[in-house]
Each structure stands twice: as structure tokens, then as C-alpha cells.
Amino acid sequence: MFGKFKTLLGHTLIYGLGNYGIKLIGFLLIPLYTRFLTPEDYGVMALVSMYTQALFVLMNLGQSVTLFRFYYERDNEEHRERVVAAALWIVLLFAIPIASLPLGFSSRISTWLTGTPAWWALIAIGTGTVLAKILLRMPFSIMRAGDQSKRYASWSLLRNGLATLLAVLFVAAFHLGATGVILSQFVGEIVMCILLTGTTLRMLHAGFRWADIKEQLVFGLPLVPAGIAAFALDLTDRWFLRTWHTVEDVGIYSLGYRFGEIVTFVVTAFQLSWPQFLFSHRKEPDAPQLYAHMTNYYLAVLLLLWLGLAVFASELITIMAPASYAAASAVVPVVAAAMCLDGVTFMVNIGPPFFKRTILRTYTLCTAALVNLCLNFLLIPKYGAIGAAWATFGGFLTQAIITFIVSLRLYWVPYQWARLGSVTLAAAAIYAGSLAIGGDDLALRIALKAILVLAYPAALIFGGFFEASDLAAACSIVERRSPAAGRILRRVLPGVST
């Protein structure tokens, strides 16, 4: 079991570093942003980002997975080029023209979104960014379809690195505030379009075939409701918060949300590696037990990350942002817990893809989004940002529960509920203990909380969460690199023979 978990973890790390490692650099730039951006600027930036993500979901026409669905069905290069050509025609004939429509309503959208038409230019720039993103989706999808993982990772790093550098330049050097951040994304995407789309557009030589275009649209359009529901579940709280409170509140909440969202670096990387692992082991006789075993360890990793964020939330905000953002720390533990639920949901969603019942995912997302919207109405007017955080948690909890029930009815997995419960209770107990640590000495607080967080993996190891065979396998790996360290571990770890 440990060997398979090690393989899964290795792929997750590769995808994480290749696709999201540069975003960690962007996260480290928060001290720069928060010192050049007021909470109002940060709030406006979050609202515009919400708008662009919603626009992308609508204008993408559910095509993010369509190319792969038909590309791998074709068994020769000529037919695969026809698949790519059809996908390109969808972008050129439908996605880009429809996405251009909001450009004529930038002022009205700004008023609806931020409460004032003053930010119309940011709406226009954001719309242009979406147009570029839709065009760029094709070359990156083609790289993935062609298994050009190194090329894909290289261009992804360049793309995100360019946007980060431009943001630093526009915000710190030119003092453009929120406009600088939005503008940096637009310029970065345009540069990438110039570099990549020329080669991609040449694939149109495969010709125009309406039957191929229709086939892809029929497959992709039903996925749009799921995308809209996912957007509502994850982002609409910003608009509700602005409506009932202020743009400054949106900025403070968005900063806390961004810290809690660190969990998604692991979750999203895992989502790129889990499908291959899931389907490659499906026919093995012990596959259900394997999936249950992987769930134990995955949850343990997620909760360790959650614990670090939740315990050190106030210290992180204090170090990385001015005092005007201090209230953001309250939402970090709740949002991070919601992101953990999202990660677990993806892992336990086994039955529907096995039996090609993916429409169930749409129903689940729509239900979770509806619960989230209701909680937004109930909690945000009275409780503000923390109410928005708990509404998000409620939506993701609903999604997780429904996914568990639906998936288990289609494909039974013997989840080890006692282990899952024990690891969750251990993390919750340690977090509760950290709340008693206070005082004005920042260094002392960090030291005491660090001891508490380190108690979590120790509790799992010596509390019997890990199987002895897995601990022994881990010791063997350490021994190959450092025999002395491996021997020490064998003497210390429970159930591992020397």
C-alpha cells in the first residue's frame, strides 16, 4: 500500500510544482500587495476576479474536458487533428464573440458589482483577460492531450511568472493599485497568446466540419450548469458581502480566504493525479480497500495543512499584512476547512465516473450551491465576513455528504470510519488547545503553537493511525539514503522491527 501511496504522492508533487509552484511565489507577495493596496482596493480586485471567473465559466461552453473526451477516442493523427480543429472553431465562432458582449456594458456591470460605475475600466480589462484565456485554453489543452507534460509545465511557469512580475512592476513601481493587478493579468495573457496561438491556429487546416463541432458542443454544454454551480458555491459570497456591508469588508474577507485557499494548492495538484491512479487500479481485486487506505492518508495530509493554517492564522496575517487587515484571520480556519472538504469530495467521487453517471455531479453541485446561497442570505447580513466563511463551509459540507452517499450506492468502498474520525478529532483537539495560547510576544506564541502542531503527526504515529507495514516501508526508504537515520527510526517507531 505504501508504495502505491508513494507513487500517487510523487505525481501530485510533480503536478503541484509544475502547475502551481509559481502561485506560491504570488502568495509570498501578499505583504507587498497589502502595503500598496487598501482593503477597498483588495475588495474591488476580488469582485472583478469573481466576475472574470464567472464569465470564463459561461463562455468556455463546458469545453475544458471535451477535447480529451474525443481526442483519445480517435486512433490516428488525422482524426485527432479534426478533433482539435473542431475545438478551435468552437472558440472562434462561439466563445470569443459571446465573451466580447460584456465590453459594451462595462459601466453597468461595474455598478452592479461594486456599487459604482467608477471601476468600469477594470471590468473592460477583465473581460479582455477572459477573451485571451479562452484563446489560450486551446494550446495548453493540446499539450496535455499530446502528453507533452514538460512543455506544458514550462509554459505554465512562464505564464504565471510573467503575470507575477508584471503585477510587482505595476503595483510597486507604478503605484497603479488594483488596476495594476488586473492589468498585469491582461498583459501577461496577451503576451502568451502572441507566443502560443499562432501554431495552434494552423491546425485549422484540418477543415471545417459542422458534425464534429456539434458533437463537441452536445457533450460540453450540459457541463455548463455544473460550472455555474461551482462558481456560485465558491465565489458569490463576495457579492453578498459587498451588498450588505462594504467593499472594504470584501477586501478583508478575500485576504483571509486567500490564506485558507492555500489548501487548494494540494487539492488541485491531487485532482490532476488521482484520476489516473483511480482508473489504473480499478480492476484489481483489492481496489476498494486501496481507495479506502489512500483516503486515510490523504485526509491526514489535508488536516495537517489545515492545522498549520488554522493555528497560525493570526500570526500569518500579522506578519504578512498591515493592521487594517487583522480581522481576516478569523475566516482562515473556516475557509481552510471548507477547502479540505472539497479535496475529500473529489477523492470519494468514485461511483459516478466508474459508471458514467457524471450528471450526478451536476445535481450535487447545484444542491450544494443552493445551500450556500441560502446560508449567504441568512448569515452575511448579520455576521459579515465570518458569516460568509461559514456559508462557504456549509456549501462544501453539503457537497461532501451528498457525494459520499451517491458514490457509495454505486460503488462500495469500505472506508475506515474509526480512523477517519480519530484523525479529524485529533486535529480539532489540537486546534482547540491552540486557542488558549495568547499574549503579546509573537515569537513565544509561534513557538508554543509549533509544538502543538508537531504533536499532530506524533499522535498519528504513536496512536496507531499508520499501519506497521507502511511505517516499515517508510523506514526502508530513509535507510537507503541514510542508514543511521533509518536505524534510529526503526527503534523509535511503534511496531517496526529492527
Give the torsion sign (CA, 330, 331, 332, 337). Answer: positive
Rounded to an integer, the average pLDDT of 297-302 is 90
Q: Does 12 have pLDDT greater than 60?
A: no
The tally of CA atoms less than 13 A away on the side-chain side of residue 455 is 15
H or E segment at 17?
Answer: helix 2-28
Rounded to an integer, the average pLDDT of 424-439 is 92
Supply the pLDDT for residue 64: 66
Measuring CA to CA, which residue among 43, 382, 391, 51 is closest to residue 246? 43
**Residue 148 is placed in which grid cell?**
507533452
Rounded to an integer, the average pLDDT of 5-10 is 50
Q: How far from the centroid of its chain's Cα atoms is residue 260's Cα?
A: 11
Q: Which of 14-28, 119-133, 314-328, 386-400 has the lowest mean pLDDT?
A: 14-28
* The most confident of 218-222, 223-227, 282-286, 466-470, by mean pLDDT: 282-286
What is the b/e burial string over 312-328, where b = at least 16 CB atoms within 10 angstroms of the residue's CB?
Answer: bbbebbbebbeeebebb
- pLDDT bin (cut points 50, 70, 90) of residue 26 is low
Supply the pLDDT for residue 497: 61
- Alpha-helical regions (H) of 29-76: 30-36, 39-59, 66-71
Higher pLDDT, 188 or 487: 188
Q: 2 near 470, Cβ under 8 Å?
A: yes
Supply the pLDDT for residue 480: 72
Q: 277 near 11, Cβ under 8 Å?
A: yes
Supply the pLDDT for residue 210: 83
3-state secondary structure of 60: coil
| pLDDT tens digits along 233-264 | 777 898 899 999 999 999 999 999 989 988 88
- pLDDT bin (cut points 50, 70, 90) of residue 69 is low
Query: What's the rounded Cα separation, in Å, for the pair 333 and 100?
Result: 39
Higher pLDDT, 4 or 234: 234
Supply the pLDDT for residue 2: 47
Q: Does 284 have pLDDT greater than 60?
A: yes
Supply the pLDDT for residue 24: 60
Query: What's the rounded Cα separation, in Å, for the pair 163 and 29?
Result: 12
- Kindly report the pTM of this predicted structure: 0.78
Rounded to an integer, the average pLDDT of 182-191 is 92
Name the amino acid, one letter, at 63: Q
